[in-house]
């Protein structure tokens, strides 16, 4: 069995790999309507202000604010109704002293008007005349030109993952296309003579492939394009041939080794032969996931994950996803979901390594949560399927006591 090199803490191991990456993401233009989850390849600037004209935020009557001063229900102001602002057209009829115009939400403020009285604060006095039942200030119920965005302002920086809000903003500016980074192709290679694809009859001694599909989903969720390769046998020539093909075709590789020692050794040997500088880390001070391999081969990141499904998915989340985000050009990652909870039971740990523990969150009557650890071996995928999140025991701790306040990273 190959000896592990000096075990590195996960942040240090990740930093070492990222420091060896020099490739830059490339850009492509796509329809804004199809850009959800994509990463901006360049900053976006507003070609014009939003709003482009002063507009009403309510249904009501456009007025000159000074014509309403002192108005109340007991002493209303009386204004002549001088028409209606038609939606979708420019308001050109000026408003003069003592007049008002009917206006709808989003309608353009007519010349001379500087406020809008909500319709419920008015009532009809007689035909063509409106009682104003309250005073409004200048600018009340009005969006001014550029109040949302000034012309020329950077509205979306480079390296931002586009959400529905950003897509709406782009559309409001008439930007039907947006420059985003190309999604890297991520090769996923699972190995093990005992592993078969779901859908085939399961024989004694065999297990269904879990890792290929959890990693496929994780890569897609993070913004990459996953590509599954045929299951690799624990046979050096076939393993090497498929790995070299995948390295040539993809931007990043994720290996998951079989459960045998020979399979893990074969993965490390194969990765080492894919290109310089090769293996940077072989062993990470974390549980689950100690036998993790981090490498850069010919400029491409390659990660060897443990074979156990829970270990593979957790390590991919904390190490592979940040690498993929670097390939995507994500410069401003948003905080992942996190919740504070009270630990339900004592959790032992070994000092000097991070421990990641799957937990279920149980709501309490006072609105808080209790974190209940889900104990299970790292090859039992449903320990994660039943979990709401993960908590980290830091390397400096020997464990956590029941009742401790813990931060739980919500699983996406």
> In order of start, what are the domains of the chain with their CATH numbers?
10-26+183-328 (3.40.980.10), 28-48+149-181 (3.90.105.10), 55-143 (2.170.190.11), 338-410 (2.40.340.10)
List pLDDT tens digits, range 376-411: 665 556 567 678 889 999 988 889 999 999 999 887
For residue 285, the model assigns a pLDDT of 83
Residue 259 has pLDDT above 70, yes or no: no
For residue 260, the model assigns a pLDDT of 45
Q: Which two tokens stand for residue 339?
A: 């919740």
* Predicted model pTM: 0.80
Pick from 234, 232, 265, 235: which is nearest to 246 by CA?
A: 232
Q: Which two tokens stand for residue 122?
A: 């008015």
Angle at 187 between CA 181 and CA 190, to 5 degrees: 150
Listed range (216-225, 262-271, 288-297, 325-334) with the worst mean pLDDT: 262-271
- As a whole number, mean pLDDT of residues 198-220 equals 90
Residues 26/183, Cβ–Cβ less than 8 Å: no
DSSP string covering 264-317: HHHHHHHHHTSSSEEEEEE-BSEES-TT-EEEEETTEEEEEE-SSHHHHHHHII
């Amino acid at each position: 069995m190959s000896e592990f090199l000096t075990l590195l803490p996960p942040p240090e191991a990740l930093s070492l790999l990222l420091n060896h990456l020099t490739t830059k993401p490339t850009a492509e233009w796509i329809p804004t309507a199809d850009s959800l989850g994509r990463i901006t390849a360049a900053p976006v600037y507003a070609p014009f202000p939003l709003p482009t004209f002063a507009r009403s935020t309510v249904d009501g009557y456009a007025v000159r604010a000074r014509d309403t001063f002192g108005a109340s229900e007991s002493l209303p102001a009386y204004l002549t109704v001088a028409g209606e602002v038609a939606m979708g057209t420019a308001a050109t009829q000026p408003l003069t002293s003592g007049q008002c115009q009917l206006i709808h939400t989003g309608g353009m403020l007519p010349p001379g008007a500087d406020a809008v009285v909500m319709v419920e604060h008015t009532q009809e006095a007689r035909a063509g005349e409106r009682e104003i039942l309250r005073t409004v200030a200048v600018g009340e119920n009005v969006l001014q030109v550029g109040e949302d965005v000034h012309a020329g302002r950077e509205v979306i920086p480079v390296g931002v993952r586009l959400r529905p809000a950003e897509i709406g903003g782009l559309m409001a500016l008439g930007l039907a296309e947006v420059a985003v980074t190309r999604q890297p192709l991520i090769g996923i290679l699972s190995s093990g003579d005992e592993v078969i694809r779901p859908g085939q009859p399961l024989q004694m001694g065999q297990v269904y492939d879990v890792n290929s599909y959890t990693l496929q989903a994780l890569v897609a969720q993070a913004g990459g394009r996953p590509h599954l390769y045929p299951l690799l046998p624990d046979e050096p020539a076939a393993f090497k041939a498929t790995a070299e093909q995948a390295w040539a075709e993809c931007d990043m590789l994720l290996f998951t080794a079989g459960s045998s020692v020979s399979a893990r050794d074969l993965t490390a040997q194969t990765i080492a032969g894919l290109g310089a500088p090769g293996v940077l880390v072989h062993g990470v001070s974390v549980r689950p996931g100690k036998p993790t391999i981090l490498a850069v081969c010919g400029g491409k990141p390659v990660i060897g994950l443990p074979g156990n499904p829970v270990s593979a998915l957790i390590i991919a989340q904390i190490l592979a996803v940040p690498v993929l985000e670097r390939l995507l050009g994500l410069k401003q990652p948003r905080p992942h979901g996190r919740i504070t909870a009270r630990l339900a039971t004592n959790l032992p740990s070994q000092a000097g390594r991070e421990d990641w523990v799957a937990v279920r969150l149980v709501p309490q009557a006072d609105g808080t949560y209790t974190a209940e650890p889900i104990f299970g071996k790292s090859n039992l995928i449903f320990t994660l399927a039943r979990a709401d999140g993960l908590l980290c025991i830091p390397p400096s701790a020997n464990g956590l006591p029941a009742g401790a306040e813990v931060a739980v990273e919500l699983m996406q």
